[in-house]
Amino acid sequence: MEEICRKLLTPFIEMRKYLFYLGGPLGAFINIRNKKWDVAIEGYIGTGLLRSFTVDNKKDNAVLMEIFNRHFRADRDCISLYDAIDIKDPVVANCLIDQMSIESILLIPSY
């Protein structure tokens, strides 16, 4: 996945379309010191977070979404986790946003 991401993102970074910072997938930046802890660490952090990206601002997020939409599916099948769910209570919504950053998690279908 790291190689695919590098091919997709390098042109945008070189064109300075990103204003501040783009990191990901996050798992590419993590090395486990002792492999016997692989399952426990991955289970705690979660594969979703390990495969996610970070951006600094909303504009960079829009560019990242544009990249994934363009390269993974033409019909814009990628959406944020926030847009994929209905939350009935604003307090619950705020909790999920604050605790899990659901507005910044991009759902990409596997084919």
pLDDT tens track of the chain, all 111 residues? 566 666 667 776 676 666 566 677 888 888 899 999 888 888 888 877 777 888 877 887 887 777 777 776 545 567 888 888 999 999 999 988 888 888 878 787 766
Model pTM greater than 0.75? no
Contacts of residue 9, defined as CB under 8 A and 6 or more positions apart, other chains included, come to 22, 67
Half-sphere exposure of 90 (CA within 13 A, CB side): 0
Q: Tokens 């390269």 belong to which residue?
A: 71
Instruction: Give the residue extent of every domain in the chain.
Output: 2-107
**Confidence at residue 44, expressed as pLDDT on a 0 to 100 scale:** 84
Instruction: Record the tokens describing residue 13, joined without a space.
Output: 């970074």
Q: How many CB atoms lie within 10 A of CB 67?
A: 19
Euclidean distance between CA atoms 17 and 63, whole angstroms: 8
